[in-house]
Every structure is written in structure tokens, then in C-alpha cells.
Amino acid sequence: MSWPSPLWSPLGTASVPVVSTAGMRRLEEASAGAGVSTDLLMENAGREVAGRVRDFYLGDVSGREILVLVGPGNNGGDALVAARHLFDWGARVRVITWNRQRPDDPKLRLCRDRGIPILARLEGEALGEAAGWLAQADLILDGLLGTGRSRPITGTLQALLRAVRDLPRPARPRPWVWERPAGSLTGRPIFAARRPALAALDLPTGLDADTGIPDPSAFPADFTVTLGFPKLGLFNPQAADVVGELLLADIGIPPTARPAEPVSVLSPAAVAELLPARSDSGHKGTFGRVLMVVGSRQYVGAARLAAAAAYRVGAGLVTLAVPAEIRAAIAAGLPEAVYLPYDPADPATPEAVAAAVAGADAVLVGCGLGQEPYAGELVAAVIRRARSGRLVVDADGLNWLARRPELIGELPPGAVLTPHPGEFARLLGGPVPADQPGRLRAVLEFAARIRGTVVLKGAFTLIGSADGSAAVSPFASAALASAGTGDVLAGLIAGLTAQGLEGGAAARAGVWLHAAAAEEFRVRRGRAGLLASDLLEGIPGLLGRLRLEVP
């Protein structure tokens, strides 16, 4: 793998804000007030999108068959500007417009003046011609609808989008690989294994920019070039399969107009700022002691994975409180840990284990702990002894919180909870909202309730803190869909907490490292086959790169 170095946001800042449709509209108005007109933003946007398409073809679009789909609003205007630039750079450009009927449209006129073929009405014989253009294209650029779309896709537009979705898209003899996509929020290459490649301008048509819920006919992009700032809906897990790889284009919004939004995208620069110092004069006590109350007869591996992750992220010492009957099995694969074996049948066990909390800089409870009654007593005892800002609760620890909701009120301030959607639904006592604003609201409200941090795991993992701030991971990867990866994440967060990071910072850094390690696997070996233990080897290298390569 050739990972871009340094990993860096295209805005040159540590934080990339995420905006709503209304927020983006306010930015455009503020830009106009600062002397940057809508037309200039449109020209900048079209040029930037065309530039990303040219970069996709390694800087040369000469002779490429590029079909641009153009809608009625500003998104369509951006697309026409992109079409013009691509034509000027040597591409064989064609344009299909939908519902763009202004006879004096200056953007359309500039394309006509260049002799770019344009289909303006999708009816009668034009429908057959449009189908031919779709089939002949090397790349289709979607500029049909932007952030203003708020109703279901129907009629002619639905037919056009279904025709795109129904294209055979045969495999290329050699997959096209864009090694260093400009503006990438993840830094990973883009693999276009099929022809035509599909690119979306700002967001795919049919995806709601705020809710992130795609219409069944939504344009299924290989990559999306979002303009100015990423939109909230792009990070709904439901959006992952239509957004493809997400790139960000700076369209010239003045710095004075840039938003102070509560939600940001995790970036390498932001994570690098969070990492704890690593002094060569330190010892194992310097780098933190982690107590983990984890594992059971059914889930022996959870304890090993969590402990190894804490060590890989730099913790100095990990103590594993585990049932005595599984200690030997874990120690055979993890001799570095210290062990606190206990008898689950002994009524004194919960308090005996909880007594060890006082000597720990961070405590993790729950991974593979099980649902036997003794496990619930362990969780309760640990929660009651845990110090502010030092507790991470995962897996069965969360299930016990749901079963015994009075314990939620006993969590110390600054605790970090790491639920997947099913566990979060149990904590909420109802389903997790499907729309992105609802997901964000639920995470932030629960974080405020516990006076800590909630990590809602999954594609585009969402992190919310009690202060009302939130961060979203730019990664969505099927590689992480295997048992034990959540134990690794919990161990990373606990290990970072032990080194002095507050819970929200540890969660942000842990989530990014976890997802980036999975991406390295995905790029080298594919979306399937990752073992949770495969993540562990990649963590030290990622830490080294963040400390050395990110400004």
C-alpha cells in the first residue's frame, strides 16, 4: 500500500467541520457578504470537481468519454462548469439535462458554444439516445440534485437514475487505481474496478443531505466530491454504499465565513494533537496502569484482545481480572499481562476485584464478561469504585447497564460507553433513530445524561461528549465486521485513558487508530477475512506516523 504522507485534511486544519443544509446556506450567504458571489463559488466548485475527475485519470482526460448529468439548481450549474473544464482539457464530454429549462442559462450556453452535445429533454427518441450515452461513458458525473432535494425521486429522474443503476458495468481488465486522491478524508486509494466509473458532485442524487437516508433510486457513486464542507447526511451508515469514497473540495469560502460547528470529521492532524507525550526517560508506571474486568468461559479471547490493544497503544501495565479457570489460556498468548484471577462463585469476588480499581489509571469493564449474575455484581462494584474520567464500559458492561438502569446514574463523570447500535438501543429503551440528526441527538443526549462520552460504533462511528461536541469517523469498512474488533477498540481507548487522555480525547484517538488499521488491511487484502488480532500489529506504526509525519 502507498499511503499518502502526511495524512492531512485538504483545508490544512486539524478539524474539518460538518455542516447541515441550513448551515451551508448560511455559509454561502456569509461568503456573498464577504464579496465572494454565488457565481464565483459555482465556478470554483465546477473547476475543483473537474480537477478531481482529471486526477482520477492521473492528470489526463484526453479522449475519455465523460457524461455529465445536470439538474436544475446550483448543483447543476456546478456540473456545467465541470463539463466545460473537462472539455477544454480534451475529454469527449456529453451532457444530459433534467428539468433545466431556462433559455438564457449562461452556463448551458457556454457548453453549447463549445459544441458539447446536450440532451435537453428526456422523452421519445431522446430516451434511446440517452441510454446509448450512458453505455458508452468511461465516467458519469452526477450533478442532478444537491442539498435542496427533500422529496422522493419519481418520474423521468427516477427512470434516468435506474438506468444508471442497471448499467452492466463490466469489470475492467485492470482495475483503475487512484493512489492519492486529492481531498480524501481517509487517505485511502480509490479502486474503480468497473466501467463506467460513477462520480457524484457534492452528494449523490437521491441522498438527503441532512438525514443521510438514500432514496431507493439514489445514484451509486464510486466517489463523491463534496463542496466546501462535508454534509451531515454523508456520514449516516445507510449512505455508505451510495457515497463511495468521500473527497473534499475547497471552493473558496472565506475564512471569516467558515463555521464553528459542533460536529467535526476525525482527521489525522486532529488525532495527532491528542496523542500523549512519550518520554524516553519514562517507565511502565509513567505510561499508565489499566485494570480490565473482562472475559469469561465463553469469551476467553475478548480479554486477550483488549489487553493487547492497550499495550499496543502504549499503556505501561495491564492487569486482567478474569475467572481463574481461563487465566492459563489467556496467559499462554499474553505473558505481558498481570493477572488477578477470581472465583465467580465466591460472593466476596465483586468487592475484591473492585478494590483493585484504586491502583489503576484506567478501568475497562465488560468485554466478554457474560450475562451470569456474578458478572452484573462485578460491573456494579467496579462502577461504584471507578474514578472520574477513568472508566470505559463496553459489551456486556453495557448490557448490564441496560438490565440495571439504576447503575447508569452511578457512572462516574467522564465515563466512556462504546455501544454498537443494538447495545445502544437497549440503553435507550427503544430503537436508535435512522436519520443522522436523530442519531446525533440521541448520542449527545445520552452523553449529557452520563456526563461523559458515547461512542456509537459502526460505519462512520459517531462520538458524542457531554459538552455538546461530536466527531465522526470518515471510515466505513466491512473489514471490521468480525468478532472481537470491538474488544480491540475498547482496549485502545482504555490504554489511551491510562496515559492521561480525558475520555472524549481517548475515544476520538482510539476510534481513528482502530479504523485506520482496518483500512490498511482492507487496501492490502480486501474487505473480508480480517481477524480482530490483525488490527494489533498496525497500531504502533500508525502511532509512529502520526507523531512523525503529521504537521
Does the pLDDT of residue 107 top 70, yes or no? yes
Query: 368's torsion region: left (phi>0), alpha (psi -120 to 50) or beta?
Result: left
- The C-alpha atoms of residue 457 and residue 467 are separated, in whole angstroms, by 20
In this structure, of 85-94, 163-172, 537-546, the range with the lowest mean pLDDT score is 163-172
- The C-alpha atoms of residue 534 and residue 211 are separated, in whole angstroms, by 34
The neighbouring-strand residues paired with 456 are 462
pLDDT class for 188, splitting at 50, 70, 90?
Answer: low
- The C-alpha atoms of residue 56 and residue 138 are separated, in whole angstroms, by 12
Per-residue pLDDT at 3: 34
Separation in Å, CA 131 to CA 97, 136, 161, 167? 14, 9, 11, 9
- The C-alpha atoms of residue 62 and residue 57 are separated, in whole angstroms, by 9
Per-residue pLDDT at 229: 92
- The C-alpha atoms of residue 309 and residue 335 are separated, in whole angstroms, by 14
Torsion of CA 126, 130, 136, 140, to 10 degrees: 150
3-state class (DSSP) for residue 88: helix
Q: Cite the DSSP H helix spans in 179-289.
A: 240-243, 268-274
Does the pLDDT of residue 401 top 50, yes or no? yes
Mean pLDDT of the chain: 91
pLDDT class for 11, splitting at 50, 70, 90?
Answer: very low
pTM of the model: 0.93
Per-residue pLDDT at 540: 95
Q: What is the mean pLDDT of residues 402-412?
A: 98
Does the pLDDT of residue 399 top 80, yes or no? yes
C-alpha cell at 289: 496502569
| Domains in the chain: boundaries | 18-261, 280-549
Is 184 or 365 the better-scoring residue by pLDDT?
365
Q: Write down the residue that cell numbers 485513558 correspond to.
A: 497
- The C-alpha atoms of residue 164 and residue 157 are separated, in whole angstroms, by 11
Does the pLDDT of residue 12 top 80, yes or no? no
- The C-alpha atoms of residue 314 and residue 284 are separated, in whole angstroms, by 9
pLDDT class for 173, splitting at 50, 70, 90?
Answer: low
Q: What is the mean pLDDT of residues 5-34?
A: 74
Tens digit of pLDDT for each residue in 116-133?
A: 999 987 776 777 899 999
Looking at residue 257, the DSSP 8-state letter turns out to be G
- The C-alpha atoms of residue 462 and residue 234 are separated, in whole angstroms, by 12
Q: Write down the residue that cell numbers 482492507 correspond to.
A: 522
- The C-alpha atoms of residue 334 and residue 412 are separated, in whole angstroms, by 30
**Which phi and psi angles does 298 have, rounded to 5°?**
-80, -25
Does the pLDDT of residue 415 top 80, yes or no? yes
Reference 225, options 146, 125, 123; nearest CA is 146
Of the chain, the percentage scoring pLDDT greater than 70 comes to: 93
CA angle 33, 39, 42 (to 5 degrees): 110
Per-residue pLDDT at 89: 98
Per-residue pLDDT at 9: 39
In this structure, of 181-195, 201-215, 403-417, 457-471, the range with the lowest mean pLDDT score is 181-195
- The C-alpha atoms of residue 186 and residue 16 are separated, in whole angstroms, by 12
Element (H, E) at 69: strand 65-70
Per-residue pLDDT at 255: 86
Does the pLDDT of residue 429 top 90, yes or no? yes
Per-residue pLDDT at 126: 75
Tens digit of pLDDT for each residue in 47-105?
A: 999 999 999 888 899 999 999 999 999 999 999 999 999 999 999 999 999 998 887 89
**CATH number listed for the domain at residues 280-549:** 3.40.1190.20
Q: What is the mean pLDDT of residues 356-376?
A: 98
Of the chain, the percentage scoring pLDDT greater than 90 comes to: 78
Per-residue pLDDT at 193: 64
Per-residue HEC secondary structure of 339-401 comes to EEEECCCCCCHHHHHHHHHHHCCEEEECCCCCCCHHHHHHHHHHHHHCCCCCEEECCHHHHHH
The verdict on domain 18-261 having CATH code 3.40.50.720 is no
3-state class (DSSP) for residue 180: coil
